């Protein structure tokens, strides 16, 4: 043990850590002793001897990381998002003293969107497990928005709104994150009458557990948008409208004293109901440029925001995302960003560099001068489930940030949804407590060992090396994950018939690797599962489904391209009749119906495989939502929110966010997505000669299908035909041997 001049002592957080150990190991586990030792840096040490594990650490979260490090490194087990608990650890194997110090002070977790795309309908069981995951992975600074709806209800009641007005303004529970960011209000609601009370209690339980474990949660704050009742009372220059995805909100002018007054009241209500750790997430310009283009206007918003915060909490620190600076870079020039950030005192600001793996802003702005900032990984948009990342480039970016003139205060995970791409997010959060240079030799073997357990089949590591070289090596010219996402889960259209060459370029760009290498990696994983099925129930089963998705999506892309090229190549332009000498039956040539059936067969095969994995069942999403319903009206709102956000997002016919949050989930794939492609196929013959007319007809048919889905959902999927291993082998033999995008 390193001599710090202070003797270890039994910490006040020992009981919380012991309870955490009971939850992940079972109450009958061998003895674990937690000790605290102060020092100049955050650290942990673990040592196991004669069946007893001792973890000494600077703080509770460091101790949780130390416990998890022992389990991962010595016992070859891990608590991932979907781990089967309790972990299979019968004995604590001896281990010499192992010490590690933190590379950065903070570990940030979550994005407002995560509570809309992953956890909107979670109860305490899911949240308890999630908070345990946070502690074991070293999260010090989680964004915690559960319960904020009750805060807003309380604050606006004190400002004169009725309960009905407040609940209408807040809107549907499935859309709360976007309300908190100021993107929308009065949408898909009203908030169920029972929701605010039940989620105030849930939020308190979450925050109490986070604080017991030594975390400092970030809570939402006031973004400037106000109920229309207040807007009507303040006409003219004091309130203005702004638009996000065609949804209008009313925003106060920062010169209005009401701006700081409302901000202070919301902060006071939050402190009264939920307490505070003095960190407030406020993003007044998320995907919406300021309503005034004057370069000084964002600074005025900053002044009013801070006035409201500090009036209620003199220790307040503003947590701000850098997302607008890259998302709307044409507006946010270097001068505008500097003027905005300069208006916020350094001691009052914590910046989240949100899209660090793709568009880091720290390098653009000289590591944000004297401001504290956190390097964050985003990767996932909308909760889409297909696996893809670039692990090595991301690691290089983290290491570069650690060497910045103004080093990051932390590393964070700011994905829009969890439960996807586990290797990527594990790699990133591991860098809080270690420095890795090369993923393949330095990190990947340990990941595979703890993911599948001691004595796993060596083919699993070989398979992951293949995945690292293929789907986990996304090239830099594909800026956004949507660029890599295939067509299966997208709303069908006939626009690609006009330019098959452009479609071919897009389809080709999604296979940036050697296709046989991906198939070989898939073969390694399937073969290992056939030989050693023990890990299949857990992580290996999920990984088999993920790799199947990666392959089948590209197969669907290619078959779609083949159909489009045959129908559209040399075909008439939109609205034109057939060329001289051409008939109108171009899609009825040899093999046309077979090709369309072949396209739909890919959908059926994927749905059948997904049905073998409970984590990929659409019905779980609806069931979670309905569990909160207390009345028929609450049931209506909750089921509408659950269905709407994954499909049309806003309203049928709007088109702004269709399928942004699409999911490869059993039932959704085999019913909703399949039916849309059937409609597309039915109009393909007409589209060959009358693209405009066919497009209008398809649009009407798709709108009817969307309305039907919102009203009725999809049938519960049939029981899985076989298990994930047999289905994977069938798909590997069917597509891996014969298809070559």
The domain limits of the chain are: 14-102, 107-437, 464-736
For residue 420, give the nearest of 630, 194, 663, 589 by alpha carbon.
663
Distance CA 394, CA 164 (A): 47
- Please state whether the peptide bond connecting residue 86 to the residue before it is cis, i.e. omega within 30 degrees of 0: yes
Statement: residue 591 has pLDDT above 60: no
Q: What is the mean pLDDT of the chain?
A: 94
Percent of the residues in the chain that have a pLDDT greater than 70, as a whole number: 94
> What's the token pair of residue 356?
């660090």
Q: What pLDDT does 719 receive? A: 72
Mean pLDDT of all residues in 655-659 = 95
- Longest CA span, the chain: 93
For residue 209, give the nearest of 11, 17, 426, 9 by alpha carbon.
17
Interval 239-263: pLDDT, tens: 899 999 999 999 999 999 999 999 9
For residue 89, give the nearest of 33, 31, 16 by alpha carbon.
31
Q: Which of 173-177, 312-316, 735-739 has the lowest mean pLDDT?
A: 735-739
Contact by Cβ (8 Å): 116, 176: yes
Residue 524: which H helix or E strand, with range? helix 515-531
Q: What pLDDT does 561 receive? A: 96
722 vs 177, more confident: 177
Interval 259-285: pLDDT, tens: 999 999 999 999 999 999 999 999 999
Is the CATH number of domain 14-102 3.40.50.300?
no
Which parts of 615-696 are beta strand (E)? none
> What's the token pair of residue 327?
């998302």
Mean pLDDT of all residues in 109-121 = 98
CATH of domain 107-437: 3.20.20.80
Three-class SS state of 312: helix
For residue 296, give the nearest of 339, 232, 332 by alpha carbon.
339
Statement: residue 506 has pLDDT above 90: yes
Interval 420-469: pLDDT, tens: 999 999 999 999 999 999 999 999 999 999 999 999 999 999 999 999 99
Interval 12-41: pLDDT, tens: 999 999 999 999 999 999 999 999 999 899
Q: How confident is the model at residue 581 (pLDDT cuts 50, 70, 90)?
A: very low
Q: For domain 464-736, which architecture applies?
A: Up-down Bundle (1.20)
Q: What pLDDT does 50 receive? A: 97
Q: What pLDDT does 579 receive? A: 31
237 vs 110, more confident: 110
Burial-class residue 396 by CB neighbours within 10 Å (0-12, 13-18, 19+): middle
Distance CA 721, CA 608 (A): 7
């Amino acid at each position: 043990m390193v001599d710090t001049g202070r003797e270890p002592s039994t910490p006040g957080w020992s009981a919380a850590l012991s309870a955490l150990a009971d939850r992940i190991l079972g109450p009958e586990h061998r003895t674990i002793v937690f000790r605290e030792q102060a020092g100049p840096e955050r650290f942990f040490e673990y040592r196991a001897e004669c069946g007893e594990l001792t973890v000494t650490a600077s703080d509770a979260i460091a101790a949780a990381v130390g416990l998890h490090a022992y389990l991962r490194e010595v016992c070859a087990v891990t608590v991932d998002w979907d781990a089967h608990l309790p972990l299979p650890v019968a004995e604590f194997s001896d281990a010499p003293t192992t010490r590690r110090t933190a590379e950065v002070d903070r570990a940030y977790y979550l994005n407002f969107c995560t509570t809309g795309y992953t956890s909107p309908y979670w109860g305490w069981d899911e949240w308890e497990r999630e908070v345990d995951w946070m502690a074991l992975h070293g999260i010090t600074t989680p964004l915690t928005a559960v319960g904020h709806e009750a805060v807003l209800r309380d604050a606006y009641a004190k400002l004169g709104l009725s309960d009905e007005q407040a609940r209408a303004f807040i809107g549907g529970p499935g859309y709360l994150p976007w309300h908190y960011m100021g993107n929308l209000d009065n949408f898909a609601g009203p908030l169920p009458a029972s929701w605010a009370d039940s989620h105030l209690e849930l939020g308190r339980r979450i925050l109490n557990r986070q604080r017991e474990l030594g975390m400092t949660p970030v809570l939402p704050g006031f973004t400037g948008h106000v109920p229309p009742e207040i807007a009507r009372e303040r006409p003219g220059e004091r309130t203005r409208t702004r638009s996000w995805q065609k949804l209008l909100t009313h925003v106060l002018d920062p010169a209005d004293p009401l701006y700081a007054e409302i901000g202070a009241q919301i902060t006071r209500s939050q402190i009264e109901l939920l307490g505070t750790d003095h960190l407030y997430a406020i993003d007044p310009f998320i995907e919406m440029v300021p309503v005034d283009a004057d370069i000084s206007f964002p600074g005025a918003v900053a002044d009013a925001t801070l006035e409201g915060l500090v009036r209620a909490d003199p220790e307040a620190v503003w947590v701000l995302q850098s997302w607008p600076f890259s998302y709307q870079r044409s507006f946010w020039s270097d001068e505008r960003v500097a003027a905005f950030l300069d208006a916020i005192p350094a001691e009052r600001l914590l910046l989240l560099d949100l899209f660090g793996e793709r568009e880091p802003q720290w390098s653009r702005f000289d590591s944000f001068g004297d401001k504290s900032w956190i390097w964050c990984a985003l990767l996932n948009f909308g909760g889409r489930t297909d696996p893809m990342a670039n692990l090595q480039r991301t690691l290089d970016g983290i290491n570069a940030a650690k060497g910045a003139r103004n080093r990051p205060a932390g590393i964070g995970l700011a994905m829009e949804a969890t439960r996807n791409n586990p290797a990527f997010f594990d790699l990133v959060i591991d860098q809080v407590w270690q420095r890795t240079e090369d993923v393949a030799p330095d990190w990947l073997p340990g990941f595979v060992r703890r993911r599948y357990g001691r004595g796993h089949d060596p083919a699993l590591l070989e398979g992951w090396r293949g995945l690292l070289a293929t789907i986990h090596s996304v090239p830099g010219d594909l800026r956004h994950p949507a660029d890599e996402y295939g067509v299966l889960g997208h709303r069908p259209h006939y626009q690609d018939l006009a330019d098959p060459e452009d479609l071919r370029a897009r389809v080709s760009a999604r296979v940036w690797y050697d296709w046989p290498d991906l198939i070989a990696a898939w073969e390694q994983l399937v073969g290992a599962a056939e030989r050693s099925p023990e890990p299949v129930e857990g992580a290996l089963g999920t990984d088999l489904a993920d790799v199947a998705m990666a392959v089948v999506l590209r197969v669907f892309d290619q078959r779609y391209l083949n159909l489009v090229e045959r129908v559209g190549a040399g075909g008439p332009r939109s609205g034109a009749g057939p060329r001289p000498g051409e008939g109108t039956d171009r899609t009825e040539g040899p093999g046309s119906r077979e090709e369309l059936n072949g396209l739909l067969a890919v959908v059926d095969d994927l749905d059948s495989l997904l049905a073998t994995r409970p984590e990929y069942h659409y019905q779980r999403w609806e069931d979670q939502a309905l569990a909160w319903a207390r009345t028929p009206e609450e049931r209506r709102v909750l089921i509408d929110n659950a269905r709407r956000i994954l499909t049309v997002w806003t309203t049928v016919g709007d088109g702004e966010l269709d399928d942004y949050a699409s999911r490869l989930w059993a039932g959704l794939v085999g019913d909703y997505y399949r039916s849309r492609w059937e409609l597309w196929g039915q109009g393909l013959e007409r589209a060959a000669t009358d693209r405009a007319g066919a497009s209008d007809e398809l649009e009407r048919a798709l709108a009817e299908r969307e309305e039907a889905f919102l009203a009725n959902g999809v049938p519960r999927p049939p029981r899985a035909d076989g298990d994930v291993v047999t289905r994977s082998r069938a798909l590997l033999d069917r597509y891996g041997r014969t298809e070559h995008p």
